[in-house]
Amino acid sequence: MFGLAVRSVRRRATAFVATFLAVFLGAVLVMAFGALADTGAATGVSDLDQETLTTMAVVVGGWGLLLVAFAVTSTLTLSVHQRAMEIALLKSAGATPAQLRQMILGEAGLLAVVGALVAVPFGALSGRGLLALLKRTDQVSEEVAYAFGPVALGTGLGVTILAALGAAVVTSRRVAAMRVTAALSSAAAAEPRPKRMGKARVIAGVVFFGISLQLSVMAALAGPEGFDAMQFAGSADIMFGLGLACFAPVLMRWTTTLLAGPILRFSGASGYLAVLNLRQRTAQLASALTPVILFVGIGVGTLWMQVIHNDTTPLSGVSASEEAVETLNFVITGMIVLFACIMLINTLVAATTHRRREFGQQRLVGATHRQVLGMVAAENLVLIVAGLGFGTIAALPTVLPMSYAKTDSWLPDPEPGLWLGTAAVAVVVTLAASLGTARRVLRTPAIETVARAG
Amino acid sequence: MTGSQTTRNAPEATEALRLVRVSKTYGGDGTRVTALDDVSLALPRGTFTAIMGPSGSGKSTLLHCAAGLDKPDSGTVFVDGQELRGRSETELTKFRRERIGFVFQQFNLLPTLTVLQNTTLPLKLAGRRVDLNRARAVLERVGLGQRLDHLPSQLSGGQQQRVAIARALVTAPSVLFADEPTGALDTHSARDVLTLLQESVRVFGQTVVMVTHDPVAASYADAVLFLADGRLVGRMSNPTAQAVAERLTYLGDEVARQRRQQRHQVGLDASVATAGRPRKEI
């Protein structure tokens, strides 16, 4: 079956781009921070430098690790589910569930290994860049030599490949257990998945919330001096965002309930279809909610945290190291936010491209291009509202304790400009990715999209 | 000359569908396939016509061009006296949802919509008032009055196809096209669907054009048109399954003979063959 997996990946290269991209970018991100640990572990590095490098690698890289694992898992799950029809065909041709599991695992493994290996040189370069930045900002002394070694390779290859394989095992079980007839009939291929959430999701969500809460408490108690509060608060939003992501389908359903009325009233047939889709296929549409929440949460959280820090540090005391930390914070936030942003585009493009057949069916019943695009826009509007709302909530575990630690007040000064800027980017990216893809999909004549089943 | 042609080709008021010298080819230079070769036909209102032919004969292309789902390379299609040519994608879509109903082999119901929602969707998209009583009546007619709130995945193939027919009938289209509507169904469900189509013609005066490869399905129609190699090669009124099957068996031989003749003609005089005699309109 591995041979089949190799052929499948080669033949349908485009279908695997999303997973590949997630693995590749994730590995680059993790390797860059892993390299800092390698650098610190080398002999001849002073204790102080070693501590700085290791802390950064563990604290920032550790959270990045979880983020990457999450992204790879969700992208791979999406791509396997999109191929339910093809898998059912193989099953009807006599493939046993064990063979199918092998095939999905083989594909995932192949993609992950290739993606992670390709990432090695880029990861090494990014790590070098990070170190250069640390040196330039006097965080680390000039003579430290860059090392790219076992930690970078181990974590970079390890987390991406393990996350991919883990997701493949879970997803392939579920897909392989599906009845052939159910998967083959076109109506069932798009059958709404059960509305109940899996236990594992709930547990994972609660764990993430717990960690976030603990980080918040530690930040709040860290006191106004130095960077202690920042060190804990900086990761609380990522954790809370991941926790919210575990409940994405539920959050999507709430937002849909809230917005269904106005959408139905103001947007005609497009809104009608959008609301029905949102209600029936919450899980599929919720897959894009995670990156929006993370993007907004981390963006708003970290930037705001930095603003609070700057505002409370006396002007006279602005040292070179303050500026350095600020720059560093922006770079790190930038890397993680950029990763979330690319994941968002990735997910939206993959999910929208997969709806080719659905769009075709709507067009055959008489939907104009404008009506299909209107439907996609309305659905993404709900996504955006949910993402902005819950993303802002995800930022609070970072912002509130930071404010308390620095000013003794839980409520920081409002930063409308910062929030609006982040929100604007989220809105533009979401709409551009989904509507752009939908427009491209609509170029194929409707009758062809329906004939090309699957 | 154009003037005289227009007059000659102008559809009459009693016609639901007219194709005038419609041609369509697919593929590039090396792999060129002529799907439709100068096809002309006219179908009166309130008739049930089956189009038959071997696979690759151009049946589905004919149906798609006639229904405005595909654009012919040359020639004109009139539905209800209105020309399809020269309309933009959006105009064509709007025209289709007003005047054309289409039933597919694979049903193409939207999986997230219930039976009733699927049926009323064309009206919603057209911004027309949704007459729920009428939609219910149509669903009652196709025998699904008790299943209004079911999702397509909860229905059998035959029931899904009947929903698709209800959806196509709800807008009261000028022509209802059906592409192998019984292709994915068992014999029993197929008979229900065919009876339903027949009834919509006989009782409600609907015009139906159906592509099929099944002689039994074709026998439900008032007339059968035979298509081979993208050309209309014959017509049969009041078909029986046996007569249709027989005719189909010989169709292959007929086509081979015609091809030989054509090659012969091309050999004699290329210009004669390409200009051709105007093919008899069916």
DSSP character at residue B17: E
Name the amino acid, one letter, at A436. Answer: G
Residue B277, token pair as written in the block: 């005699």
| A206 and A187 inside one domain | no
Who among A186, A190, A366 is closest to B106 (CB)? A186
How far, in Å, CA of B159 to CA of A51, rounded?
70
Choosing from A194, A220, A241, the residue where a domain stops is A194
**Of the candidates A240, A231, A234, which has an alpha carbon nearest to the alpha carbon of residue A211?**
A240
- What pLDDT, on a 0 to 100 scale, did the predictor assign at position A12? 63
Whether chain A has a CB inside 8 Å of the CB on B95: the answer is no
- What pLDDT, on a 0 to 100 scale, did the predictor assign at position A453? 44
A399 and A240 in contact (C-beta within 8 Å)?
no
Q: Do B93 and A367 touch (CB under 8 A)?
A: yes
Which residue from B minimizes the CA distance to A443?
B89
How far, in Å, CA of B30 to CA of B8, rounded?
37
Residues A271-292 pLDDT 10s: 999 998 888 888 778 888 988 9
**Probe site for chain A from B60, B88, B93 (most A CB atoms < 10 A):** B93
Whether chain A has a CB inside 8 Å of the CB on B88: the answer is no
- What pLDDT, on a 0 to 100 scale, did the predictor assign at position B72? 93
Residue B218, token pair as written in the block: 């074709």
**Between the ranges A220-234, A388-402, B4-18, B241-255, where is the mean pLDDT highest?**
A388-402
| A345 and A438 inside one domain | yes
Q: Do A447 and B69 touch (CB under 8 A)?
A: yes
How far, in Å, CA of A437 to CA of A52, rounded?
44
Residue A248's pLDDT band (boundaries 50, 70, 90)? very high
Residues 6+ apart with CB under 8 A from A400: A216, A220, A410, A411, A412
| A291 and A336 inside one domain | yes
User: Looking at residues A244-249, what average pLDDT do you find?
Assistant: 92
Which residue from B minimizes the CA distance to A375?
B125
Q: How far is B65 from chain A (nearest CA, A)?
A: 11
- CA atoms within 13 Å, Cβ hemisphere of A23: 27
| Chain A partners within 8 Å of B127 (Cβ) | 268-269
| A80 and A216 inside one domain | no
> A353: burial class by Cβ within 10 Å (0-12, 13-18, 19+)?
middle
Whether chain B has a CB inside 8 Å of the CB on A194: the answer is no
A419 and A300 in contact (C-beta within 8 Å)?
yes
**Probe site for chain B from A284, A365, A373, A439 (most B CB atoms < 10 A):** A365
Residue B113, token pair as written in the block: 């919509």
**pLDDT 10s per residue in chain B (282 long)?**
444 444 445 556 688 999 999 999 987 777 788 889 999 999 999 999 999 988 888 898 999 999 999 899 999 999 999 999 888 888 999 999 889 999 998 888 998 889 999 999 999 998 888 889 989 999 998 889 899 999 998 899 899 999 999 999 998 999 999 999 998 888 988 999 999 999 999 988 999 999 998 999 999 999 999 998 888 988 999 999 999 999 988 887 777 777 777 777 666 555 444 444 444 444
**Of the candidates B85, B157, B216, B199, which has an alpha carbon nearest to the alpha carbon of residue B208?**
B199
Interface of B with A in 242-281 (CB under 8 A): none
Q: Compute the Cα dihedral for A439, A440, A441, A444 and give only its sign.
A: positive
Whether chain A has a CB inside 8 Å of the CB on B177: the answer is no
How far, in Å, CA of B53 to CA of B227, rounded?
5
Residues A149-203 pLDDT 10s: 999 999 999 988 998 898 888 888 777 776 666 555 544 444 445 556 678 889 9
How far, in Å, CA of A126 to CA of A79, rounded?
28
User: Looking at residues A69-86, what average pLDDT do you find?
Assistant: 79
| Chain B partners within 8 Å of A361 (Cβ) | 108-110
A152 and A64 in contact (C-beta within 8 Å)?
no
| A261 and A121 inside one domain | no
User: What is the number of domains present in chain A?
Assistant: 2
Whether chain A has a CB inside 8 Å of the CB on B126: the answer is yes
How far, in Å, CA of A215 to CA of A402, rounded?
11
| Chain A partners within 8 Å of B112 (Cβ) | 190, 192, 276-277, 279-281
Residues 6+ apart with CB under 8 A from A74: A167, A287, A290, A347
B68 and B101 in contact (C-beta within 8 Å)?
no
Whether chain B has a CB inside 8 Å of the CB on A365: the answer is yes
| A202 and A190 inside one domain | no
| A316 and A342 inside one domain | yes
DSSP character at residue B154: G
| A113 and A235 inside one domain | no
| A171 and A200 inside one domain | no
| Paired strand residues for B82 | B79
| Chain A partners within 8 Å of B113 (Cβ) | 276
What is Dmax (Cα atoms) for chain A? 75
Residues 6+ apart with CB under 8 A from B20: B9, B40, B75, B76, B77, B78
Q: How many residues does chain A have?
A: 454
Residue A93's pLDDT band (boundaries 50, 70, 90)? confident
Q: Do B107 and A447 touch (CB under 8 A)?
A: no
| A409 and A450 inside one domain | yes
Residues A97-135 pLDDT 10s: 888 888 888 888 888 999 999 999 999 999 999 899 888
Q: How far is A130 from chain B (nearest CA, A)?
A: 49
Helix and strand totals (H; E) in chain A: 19, 0
Q: Does the interface predicted TM-score (ipTM) exceed 0.85?
A: no
User: What is the crossing angle of helices A369-407 and A199-220, to 10°?
Assistant: 40
Residue A315's pLDDT band (boundaries 50, 70, 90)? low
Q: How far is A265 from chain B (nearest CA, A)?
A: 13
Per-residue buried b or exposed e for A358-394, using 16+ beta carbons within 10 Å of the residue's own CB: bbbbbbbbbbbbebbbbbbbbbbbbbbbbbbbbbbbb
Q: How far is B115 from chain A (nearest CA, A)?
A: 12
Taking one residue from A and the other from B, the number of pairs with CB-CB distance under 8 angstroms is 87
Q: How far is B112 from chain A (nearest CA, A)?
A: 6
Residues 6+ apart with CB under 8 A from B270: none
Q: Which structural domain, as residue segments, surrounds residue A101?
A: 1-194
B188 and B162 in contact (C-beta within 8 Å)?
no
Find the range with the poorest average confidence among A24-38, A311-325, A413-427, B113-127. A311-325
How far, in Å, CA of B66 to CA of A86, rounded?
32
Q: How far is A207 from chain B (nearest CA, A)?
A: 34
Residue indicated by tokens 């409940």? A247
| Chain B partners within 8 Å of A359 (Cβ) | none
| Chain B partners within 8 Å of A363 (Cβ) | 93
Q: Is the pLDDT of residue A225 over 70?
A: yes
Q: How far is B163 from chain A (nearest CA, A)?
A: 13
Q: Is the pLDDT of residue A382 over 60?
A: yes
Q: Do B69 and A272 touch (CB under 8 A)?
A: no
| Paired strand residues for B79 | B17, B82
Give the predicted TM-score (pTM) of the model: 0.81
| A95 and A4 inside one domain | yes
Q: Do A446 and B69 touch (CB under 8 A)?
A: yes
How far, in Å, CA of B69 to CA of A364, rounded?
8
> What phi, psi does B19 have (nearest 5°)?
-110, 130
How far, in Å, CA of B112 to CA of A191, rounded?
7
Choosing from A172, A194, A216, the residue where a domain stops is A194
Choosing from A194, A219, A240, the residue where a domain stops is A194
Q: Do A366 and B70 touch (CB under 8 A)?
A: no
| Alpha-carbon distances of B265 from A269, B36, B228, B230, B231, rounded to whole Å | 56, 21, 19, 19, 18
End-to-end CA distance of chain A: give it in Å, rounded: 21
**Of the candidates A157, A140, A161, A137, which has an alpha carbon nearest to the alpha carbon of residue A148?**
A157
| A204 and A235 inside one domain | yes
Residue A54's pLDDT band (boundaries 50, 70, 90)? confident
| Chain A partners within 8 Å of B88 (Cβ) | none
